Amino acid sequence: MADQAIIQARIERVRKLAHENAEAQEFYEAASIAQSVIYDTLGRGHPSMRALDEAVKSGDWTKILGACKAVLALYDEGALPSPTLRIAHEIEGGILDIAQAQTQAAEVAGDPSAKQLGLAIAAFLAGAALEDALRRLCDEGGLAYDPQRSTIAKLQAVLY
């Protein structure tokens, strides 16, 4: 994903700048880049952002280095998610919740046509979530597909 590649490039820049023998401008640059990573992945309210802010305001190089190394550790542990992936998961979760509600409503519907409609809506929404997930898997793997003609079956074939 492009977003993840950008985050990774920033992390590598912080890794290069944040070391014990760095000059003042390197510390500040590393902290600024680390702040942009935290902002774009975890948000402004995350404790790491506060630690970076406090370290920079103090002007204490050891605090700045420690805060930058904490961001690097979070990244290395996989704790800094891709913003695109995080948003996609939230959207898909919402779509699947609606599909589940449609299924439950269809199960108790007395009218056969209402039941059929509810199940059709649920199937459509679940299929849309699956298609989006397959598209992201193709994107992550750098696999080419026709975005204008992508179906579950075609995306599945690309992945195989």
Domain spans of the chain, in order of start: 2-76, 83-159
Q: Which residues contact 33 (CB under 8 A, 6 or more apart)?
A: 10, 13, 14, 17
The Cα-based distances of 41 to 34, 45, 92, 126 in angstroms read 11, 11, 18, 27
pTM for the full predicted model: 0.56
pLDDT tens digits along 89-141: 778 888 888 999 999 999 999 899 999 999 999 999 999 888 888 887 787 67
pLDDT tens digits along 138-158: 876 778 888 888 888 888 888
Q: Which of 160, 83, 98, 154 is CA-nearest to residue 129? A: 98
